[in-house]
Amino acid sequence: MNRMRIAASVVLAGAIGGLSLSGQQPPAPRTLASTMEVFVFPQKGQSASQQSQDESACYNWAMQNTGSDPFQLMKQAQVQQQQAASAQASASTVGQGSAVRGAAGGAAAGALFGAIGGNAGRGAAIGAASGAVVGRVRGNQAQASAQQQVAQQSAANQQATAQQIDNFKKAFSVCLEAKHYLVRY
């Protein structure tokens, strides 16, 4: 009975005191640097609040000197990815109507040539089939071309965004190093 009271007291004291019986500590709050995947270590014993102030000051300094805000760049990158996905979806619809338009044009041309040969109906049928095939091929080519352009633009945007974020991290790191922090990203 006494052992149960002692165990209950230890559990209660641990809960009240913020201790964990498993030995794990609660996760540290994320700093501005850690959200950007920049690792900062104070070399002169700076407090957590001093480090937070220094990170904020360096963030502002880096924004002014690079003209970039990494959080805005990340938001823009997400919007661009959504737009690229939407553009690819619309590019895929380009080829869908091409076969129908080709068939209609082919039927008209086939009927004309069939009338000259004496059988307009047969000429129209042959023309429609040929036009559908040609229209489908042209539609597929247009679709592939549009998708390639979207992919190239998306890759270029991603590369430019990554370069801007990297430049920002360099500026941010230089500022923190000047304030006596060890910085890695």
Per-residue pLDDT, averaged over 122-145, amounts to 68
Q: Does a structural domain hold residue 3?
A: no
Q: In terms of residue numbers, what domain contains 59?
A: 11-184
Report yes or no: 112 and 155 within 8 Å, Cβ to Cβ: no
Report yes or no: 169 and 38 within 8 Å, Cβ to Cβ: yes
Q: Does a structural domain hold residue 6?
A: no
For 52-92, what is each residue's pLDDT tens digit?
A: 999 999 999 999 999 999 999 989 888 888 887 787 676 65
Q: Does a structural domain hold residue 46?
A: yes
Q: Does a structural domain hold residue 4?
A: no
Name the phi and psi angles at 19, rounded to 5.
-85, 155
CA angle 41, 30, 36 (to 5 degrees): 75
pLDDT band at 169 (very low <50, low <70, confident <90, very high): very high
Q: Does a structural domain hold residue 161?
A: yes
In total, how many domains does the chain have?
Answer: 1
Q: Does a structural domain hold residue 2?
A: no
Per-residue pLDDT, averaged over 10-23, amounts to 45
Residue environment code for 20-38, b if the CB has 16+ CB neighbours within 10 A, otherwise e: eeeeeeeeeeebbbeebeb
